Chain A
Amino acid sequence: SQQGEEDPQALSIQEGENATMNCSYKTSINNLQWYRQNSGRGLVHLILIRSNEREKHSGRLRVTLDTSKKSSSLLITASRAADTASYFCATPSNDYKLSFGAGTTVTVRA
């Protein structure tokens, strides 16, 4: 079964707006990762947050992690058309197996 699950399944926003998506997971983790997948392409690593971190930034991306609620959020600020993609959270379910959720599909309208 999948370890992480993203919410919402799909998100449509206007260019310049912020996009927020959430990830919930089931078991304890030592890190959580977010990946992006453009249509027809492979996945690209965006950011990793460790279990002892609460918030992390990378450019226009902000990730939070709440281990007490077993949840994480990904915020994309000032969205652009190029941010249109599917976003996946991924968590290691054991020492070596990384499990992906079903993803959030983000559409940024011009």
Chain B
Amino acid sequence: EAGVAQSPRYKIIEKRQSVAFWCNPISGHATLYWYQQILGQGPKLLIQFQNNGVVDDSQLPKDRFSAERLKGVDSTLKIQPAKLEDSAVYLCASSLVGTGMGNTIYFGEGSWLTVV
């Protein structure tokens, strides 16, 4: 079974530039997550999709971050304009359904962003 695919793996941009990350979840997984993980910290949920609808985006900085999941499969996360504090690993994950009843989340390898 193929895992969660993410690209690019690494990106270095200057502040105020824009960047986009792509995620392809495990086939058949209805729920897709984007997490931000700053070095030395645990992952923080940015946005959660159920199929192509947003379930939770309460911690997404909407003035600069946007995400979409067209057709309920692939997803993109965009940052525009980037700030220095956006330097982090952006982890995409998916699960069959939501995690409330104990469904396992499967993570991709992450996209490492450095803003200089």
Which residues does A use to contact B, with CB under 8 Å? Answer: 2, 30-31, 33, 35, 41-45, 48, 50, 88, 90, 92, 94-103
Contacts and interface: CB of A to CB of B under 8 A. Distances in A.
A43 B102 contact: no
A97 B42 contact: no
Nearest to B9: A40
B55 interface: yes
Contacts of B101: 30-31
B22 interface: no
Given A33-B102, A94-B100, A99 B45 contact: yes
A10 B107 CA distance: 23
A94 B107 CA distance: 20
A42 B45 contact: no
Interface of B: 4, 31, 35, 40-45, 48, 50, 55-56, 91, 93, 98-102, 104-110
A22 B55 CA distance: 30
- Most chain A CB within a 10 A radius of its CB, from B43, B104, B105: B43
A88 B40 CA distance: 12
Interface of A is mostly: strand
A42 B110 contact: yes
Contact of A96 (B99, B106, B110): B99
A33 B105 CA distance: 10
Given A42-B109, A96-B99, A103 B42 contact: yes
